């Protein structure tokens, strides 16, 4: 008797059923991708983006009670017969506490504090002149302050302003103010944001050593919310320039040389939650606010004390190894060593910047 071929008994789902599944899944996938596009993009960044060329790290030698002459020679430099003048140039928004710490810390080394403040944010929102209205707080440095107001353009409803264009215009305005400040060729010009604070011993080397590179970036230890949450040493935008005819005020990569461990960068290090909300809506990355609840005070307070990201973003890294390593909240540190001396001397006033001070006032 001939064997009958085996028949395949499994049945394919009806076409209607498949169509319904596709009809449900496709919109869900589209909405999911649309909602999490930024996260997906950042997660796959190591595939689609290449890192910039690596910096040439210049070692930084420092210890207490070591002569400046010896420190200059350790760097391959020589001691000058007299110190250079240092000009500290910043674009100011609303970081009053950090500005006080910065200027008090650097006062002995800086000849002029050059500061530009705008009546609008980078995003085109009208803002108070925070520095002008609090200038009495900085009376200790009054004779060194060179200040000007940049009159920005207010964004109208429905219009689009590129915040990076407005930011660049403010930095260009700084060039004119620096020249007015009395700077001369061979002086040092520091270009950095208010929260990017070079250390005093960095400035002392810039002041007293000959043989420096004409331009070098300053590697700053990166902190978030306070000095309780150290992130890494990824902050590099601050620069030190030996001022010359071609020096222009910029906040981007200008050389391959970077001076190691040269200070501190404390991002979103504000006393009040309303100050944090102001920065979130004011600075160049305001587009990261994807939902209204991102500006909720209780949410922000919770994230600060956990060391979590305000924008619910993945780390911006060029390798999966670094990305995975930095995912999740920032680890707390109980160390308050090697921080600005003025901060430690006034710890009671600036408790919110130190370990255990994560709870913020509302306003």
Let me know if domain 56-267 sits in CATH 3.90.550.
yes
Higher pLDDT, 314 or 98: 98
Given pLDDT bands bounded at 50, 70 and 90, which one contains residue 285? low
- In order of 13, 177, 216, 232, the CA distances from 336 in angstroms are 65, 36, 28, 16
Mean pLDDT within 347-352: 97
Domain ranges of the chain: 56-267, 273-353
Mean pLDDT within 279-300: 82
> What are the phi and psi torsion angles at 97 (to 5°)?
-65, -45
| Cα–Cα dist 316/38, whole Å | 11
Given pLDDT bands bounded at 50, 70 and 90, which one contains residue 32? low
> What are the phi and psi torsion angles at 257 (to 5°)?
-90, 135
Range in 5-19, 56-70, 104-118 with the lowest mean pLDDT: 5-19
Given pLDDT bands bounded at 50, 70 and 90, which one contains residue 316? confident
Please say if the pLDDT value at position 146 is more than 70.
yes
Range in 39-43, 58-62, 74-78, 281-285 with the lowest mean pLDDT: 39-43
| Residue 122 near residue 282, CB atoms below 8 Å | yes
Closest residue by Cα to residue 127 from 137, 116, 119: 119
**Per-residue pLDDT reduced to its tens digit, 126-143:** 899 999 999 999 999 999
Adjacent-strand bridge partners of 126: 120
Q: What is the pLDDT of residue 158?
A: 57
Higher pLDDT, 132 or 50: 132
What is this structure's pTM? 0.87
321-360: b or e for each residue (b if 16 or more CB lie within 10 Å)?
Answer: ebbeeeeeebeeeeeeeebbebbeeeeeebebbbeebbeb
Q: Residue 146 gets which letter from DSSP?
A: E
């Amino acid at each position: 008797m001939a064997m009958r071929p085996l028949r395949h008994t499994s049945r394919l789902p009806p076409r209607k059923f498949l169509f319904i599944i596709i009809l449900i899944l496709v919109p869900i996938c589209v909405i999911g991708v649309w909602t999490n596009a930024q996260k997906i993009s950042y997660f796959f960044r190591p595939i689609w983006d290449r890192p910039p060329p690596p910096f040439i790290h210049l070692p930084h030698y420092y210890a207490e009670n070591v002569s400046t002459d010896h420190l200059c020679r350790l760097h391959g430099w020589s001691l000058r017969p007299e110190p250079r003048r240092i000009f500290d140039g910043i674009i100011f928004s609303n970081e009053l506490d950090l500005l006080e710490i910065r200027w008090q810390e650097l006062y002995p080394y800086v000849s002029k504090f050059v500061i530009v403040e705008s009546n609008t944010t980078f995003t085109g929102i009208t803002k108070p002149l925070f520095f002008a209205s609090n200038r009495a707080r900085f009376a200790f440095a009054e004779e060194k302050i060179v200040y000007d107001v940049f009159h920005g353009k207010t964004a109208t409803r429905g219009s689009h302003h590129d915040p990076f264009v407005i930011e660049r215009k403010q930095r260009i305005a700084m060039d004119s103010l620096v020249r007015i400040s009395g700077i001369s060729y061979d002086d040092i010009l520091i270009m950095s944001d208010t929260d990017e604070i070079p250390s005093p011993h960095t400035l002392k080397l810039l002041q007293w050593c000959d043989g420096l590179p004409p331009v070098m970036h300053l590697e700053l230890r990166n902190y978030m919310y306070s000095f309780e949450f150290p992130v890494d040493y990824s902050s590099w935008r601050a620069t030190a320039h030996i001022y010359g005819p071609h020096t222009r005020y910029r906040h981007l990569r200008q050389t391959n040389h970077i001076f190691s461990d040269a200070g501190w960068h404390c991002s979103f290090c504000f006393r009040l939650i309303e100050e944090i909300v102001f920065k979130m809506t004011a600075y160049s990355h305001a587009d990261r606010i994807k939902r209204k609840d991102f500006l909720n005070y209780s949410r922000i307070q919770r994230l600060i004390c956990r060391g979590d990201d305000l924008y619910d973003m993945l780390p911006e890294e060029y390798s999966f190894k670094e990305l995975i390593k930095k995912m999740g909240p920032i680890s707390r540190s109980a160390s308050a060593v090697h921080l600005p001396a003025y901060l430690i001397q006034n710890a009671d006033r600036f408790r919110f910047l130190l370990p255990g001070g994560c709870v913020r006032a509302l306003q």
